[in-house]
């Protein structure tokens, strides 16, 4: 299937330090793709560029067969992209319900109460994000994904800091979205969880990316095992 | 993408509250200087509008609202409009009231 979103040969430097020299990313409908990479390898930068959150020094972003030399998140969001950053998604200024309702009305999304019930947050919907625990905030973000029903989801470290039960919920939601035809790309370091959920692995290292294919092929890749997986690679 | 009325109402109301706060403080300072807070010069009016807009943008940044707003399809220009419009409307209203009084 053709990719819905492509970040092609993008490069990015910050204050003279090159983070990405030629990174590429594809989000394919019906697939859950995982972008692995060591800290500082550039995977968050690549995801941010693909989402239009930051602009690349070179390279382009294509969404739904339209090329953007200057991709911006509001434009891509209008066309069906949802970007979950590695920090909080929600504003501290409104209740979770108000913000989910904003998303629902803006995109004719799914019912807020139903999404909250799925993630077990029905009782705290009227609280502000600051009054929720870290895990509850992450679950509220899962509810936002459910309400939004995007065509493409880019999630930066969605499993970070999640309890096992919440990680299971997140995995279920991401797999469910992919099985409904959404293009999903996530980053993270939770190797067993992500490998179990992934359809495809991309490895970001030394400023570039390698398409390793399905998890089975990825774990058989010698360099990936040696440089990234470490002890996880020996057991898989 | 045009923000739906719920988003627009929420942010315009916040912009109005910020402008009101800046106007009350500005008016107090102007009255303290012995001038009428109802009859401001164009420069002073623009200063109040600019201060309201700056505070509004700082407030959005403080609340980490960029991710939410951009995911809602709201552009930065619209974010600025959320703070400019209530301040300008407020100042125009006060000018009209002051004109009616004199």
Query: For residue range A61-107, what is the model confidence (pLDDT) as tens digits?
Result: 999 999 998 899 999 999 999 999 988 899 999 999 999 999 999 99
Assess B53–A contact: CB distance below 8 Å, yes or no: no
Instruction: Say how far apart CA A212 and CA B95 lie, in whole Å.
Output: 66
pLDDT exceeds cutoff 60 at A134: yes
Instruction: Say how far apart CA A79 and CA A63 lie, in whole Å.
Output: 8
Quote the pTM value.
0.91
* A22 in Cβ contact with A205 (< 8 Å): no
Contact state of A77 with B3 under an 8 Å Cβ cutoff: no
The proportion of chain A whose per-residue pLDDT surpasses 70, expressed as a percent, equals 97
Structure tokens at A20: 């990405």
Q: Which residues contact A187 (CB under 8 A, 6 or more apart)?
A: A34, A35, A36, A37, A43, A44, A47, A155, A156, A157
* Average pLDDT taken over every residue of chain A: 93
CB atoms within 10 A of CB B53: 24
Instruction: Say how far apart CA A3 and CA A13 lie, in whole Å.
Output: 26
pLDDT in tens, B40-91: 889 989 999 999 999 999 999 999 999 999 999 999 999 999 999 999 999 9
Contact state of B3 with A106 under an 8 Å Cβ cutoff: yes
Mutation choice for A interface testing from B5, B9, B62, B67 by most A CBs within 10 A? B67
Three-state secondary structure of B7-65: HHHHHHHHHHHHHHHHHHHHHHHHHHCCCCCCCCCHHHHHHHHHHHHHHHHHHHHHCCC
A85 interaction partners in chain B (CB closer than 8 Å): 67
Cβ-based contacts under 8 A for chains A and B? 68
Contact state of A89 with B71 under an 8 Å Cβ cutoff: yes
Can you give the pLDDT at residue A70? 87
Assess A228–B contact: CB distance below 8 Å, yes or no: no
B59 interaction partners in chain A (CB closer than 8 Å): 93
pLDDT band, residue B11 (cuts 50/70/90): very high
Q: Give the side-chain half-sphere CA count within 13 A for A133.
A: 7
pLDDT exceeds cutoff 70 at A234: no
Average pLDDT over residues A58-63: 95
Contact state of A83 with B67 under an 8 Å Cβ cutoff: yes
Of A82, A85, A94, the CB nearest to B10: A94
pLDDT exceeds cutoff 90 at A230: no
Assess B10–A contact: CB distance below 8 Å, yes or no: yes
Q: Give the side-chain half-sphere CA count within 13 A for B47.
A: 9
Q: Give the side-chain half-sphere CA count within 13 A for A49.
A: 30
pLDDT in tens, A183-225: 999 999 999 999 999 999 999 998 999 999 999 999 999 999 9
Average pLDDT over residues A99-127: 94
Can you give the pLDDT at residue B101? 77
Edge-first strand listing for the sheet containing A208-213: A66-68, A58-63, A5-14, A17-27, A208-213, A200-205, A32-36, A183-187, A152-155, A81-84
Contact state of A106 with B64 under an 8 Å Cβ cutoff: no
Can you give the pLDDT at residue A231? 66
Can you give the pLDDT at residue A103? 97
Assess B73–A contact: CB distance below 8 Å, yes or no: yes
pLDDT exceeds cutoff 90 at B34: no
Assess A209–B contact: CB distance below 8 Å, yes or no: no
């Amino acid at each position: 299937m053709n990719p819905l979103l492509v970040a092609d040969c993008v490069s990015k430097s910050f204050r003279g330090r090159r983070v990405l020299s030629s990174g590429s990313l594809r989000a394919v409908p019906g697939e859950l793709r995982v972008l692995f990479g060591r800290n500082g390898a550039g995977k968050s930068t690549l995801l941010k560029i693909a989402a239009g959150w930051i602009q690349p020094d070179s390279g382009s972003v294509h969404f739904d067969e339209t090329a953007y030399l200057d991709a911006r998140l509001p434009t891509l969001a209008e066309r069906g992209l949802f970007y979950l950053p590695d920090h909080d998604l929600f504003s501290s200024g409104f209740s979770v319900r108000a913000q989910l309702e904003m998303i629902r009305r803006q995109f004719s999304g799914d019912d807020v109460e139903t999404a909250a019930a799925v993630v077990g947050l029905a009782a705290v919907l009227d609280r502000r994000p600051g009054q929720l625990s870290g895990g509850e905030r992450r679950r509220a973000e899962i509810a936002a994904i459910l309400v939004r029903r995007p065509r493409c989801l880019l999630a930066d470290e969605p499993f970070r800091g999640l309890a096992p039960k919440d990680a299971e919920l997140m995995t279920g939601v991401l797999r469910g979205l992919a099985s409904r035809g959404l293009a999903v790309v996530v980053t993270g370091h939770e190797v067993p969880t992500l490998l179990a959920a992934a359809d495809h692995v991309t490895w970001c290292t030394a400023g570039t990316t390698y398409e390793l294919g399905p998890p089975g092929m990825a774990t058989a890749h010698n360099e990936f095992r040696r440089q990234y997986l470490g002890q996880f690679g020996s057991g898989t | 993408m045009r923000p739906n009325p719920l988003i627009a109402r929420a942010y315009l109301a916040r912009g109005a509250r910020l402008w009101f706060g800046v106007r009350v403080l500005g008016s107090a300072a102007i009255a303290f200087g012995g001038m009428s807070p109802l009859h401001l010069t164009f420069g002073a009016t623009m200063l109040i509008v600019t201060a309201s807009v700056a505070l509004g943008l700082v407030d959005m940044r403080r609340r980490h609202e960029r991710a939410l707003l951009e995911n809602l399809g709201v552009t930065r220009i619209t974010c600025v409009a959320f703070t400019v419009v209530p301040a300008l409307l407020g100042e125009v209203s006060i000018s009209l009231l002051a004109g009616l009084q004199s």
